[in-house]
Amino acid sequence: MSHAWLIVGPPGSGRSNAARAFAAALQCAEGGCGECNSCRTTLSGANPDVTLVRAQGLSIGVDEVRGLARKSAMTPTGGRWQIIVIEEADRVTDQASNALLKSLEEPPPRTVWLLCAPTPDDVSVTIRSRTRELHLVTPNDDDVARLLINRDGVDQQTAKQVAHITQGHVGWARGLARSESARATRQHIITLPSRLTGVGACLQEAAKLVSIAESQVKENVAELDATERANLDASYGIGGGSRPAEIATTYARDKKRLEEEQKSRAKRLVRSELDKVFTDLTTWYRDVLTLQLGATPLPGTAPGVLPAVQIVNVDAADAITAAAQATTTAQTIRYLDAILTARAQLDHNVSPLMAMESLLLSLGSKR
């Protein structure tokens, strides 16, 4: 049994779900029955011997990792193992990596670390060398569609379409199948390239995309923010009587800290919303390039041609065909480069609006 695992796979391949299932299988006396108390508490995140870590802000810092290291040194209270799951090990800072490394080097006998990241290169080489790698693959369209139909009751046609559009990203496919606003946002994005007709339009669209992302995040975190605030208030007994001055001071400090954490989380989530926009745009231009390089637009339209390379955005086939005819492959490659640049800018803390404006100006440029 290895004490440290690195679970890697592209977004949507189910890294954190796999890690949880693995943790449940380790805690369960039956090897993962899915029904006993150990399995259920582990999967729901309530097992005291399984710590699930998700980055609240942009990164996981050294203090947090030191806390985890202390937890990892403890004997499991009731379970068979002490398990620490870091769902976004790629967000561990360099300094925190060193702290983590110490724990990975001398693990107590009943401790297991499960680290998740998109690729092995997303964690430091030294961490990688001390873990056993587990590679997940993206499920194919049919598998995703079947899951949506059987598990989520999505109708067959919608299931097939969203499975294809989302390229095997299960969570995204489900969100798209079940949420009307997610479908509206997608519609907005796949029709975007044809609206970039001038500088004014580009700037306007950039502002709109960022504001859609911000309001989406606001809606998603409103309940969580309110619960966290209520918990804090309750722990200080807010709502009844007057408090001594020193308590008022610590309350004010904790409230400020919570507000900062919530702000940092919202910022991170806006970036990940915009990352989805970049993904949609990337597949859109990838489709344009596919057509420009001579693939047939839809299967069966050109007899005798080798298996047609399918376009991803089947729901935007007309606009993609038009764009493929109106531009050159060199232009399309420049557009794809511009998307990569914008993505890198967001990673380097350029403001979302600035990154988006500069991207859309490039996409709107005919050169």
Among candidate residues 83, 7, 11, the one with its CA nearest the CA of residue 52: 83
Rounded least distance, CB 152 to Zn ion, Å? 24
Nearest distance, CB of residue 26 and Zn ion, angstroms: 10
In the bound state, the residue with its beta carbon closest to Zn ion is 28
Q: How far is the CB of 21 from Zn ion (least distance, A)?
A: 11
- Residue 36 or 238 having the CB closest to Zn ion: 36
User: Please, what is the minimum distance in Å from the beta carbon of residue 3 to Zn ion?
Assistant: 22
Residue with Cβ nearer Zn ion (39 or 323)? 39
Distance (Å, rounded) from C-alpha 93 to C-alpha 12? Answer: 23
Please name the residues in contact with 345: beta carbons below 8 A apart, sequence gap of 6 or more: 354, 355, 358
Query: In angstroms, rounded to a whole number, what is the distance separating the alpha carbons of residues 324 and 331?
Result: 10
Q: How far is the CB of 275 from Zn ion (least distance, A)?
A: 36
Q: What is the DSSP letter of 310?
A: P
Q: What is the DSSP letter of 60?
A: B
Nearer to Zn ion, 37 or 325 (CB): 37
CB of 24 or CB of 52, closer to Zn ion: 24
Interface residues toward Zn ion, by CB under 5 A = 28, 33, 36, 39
Residue 301: exposed, middle, or buried by beta-carbon count in 10 A (0-12, 13-18, 19+)? exposed
Nearer to Zn ion, 28 or 163 (CB): 28
Contact 112, 3 (CB under 8 A): yes
CB 313 within 8 A of CB 284: yes
Residues in contact with 150: Cβ distance below 8 Å, sequence separation at least 6, in sequence order: none
Cβ 33 to Zn ion, closest distance in Å? Answer: 4
The answer to whether 360 and 203 are in contact (CB under 8 A) is yes
In the complex with Zn ion, the residue whose CB is nearer, 21 or 309, is: 21
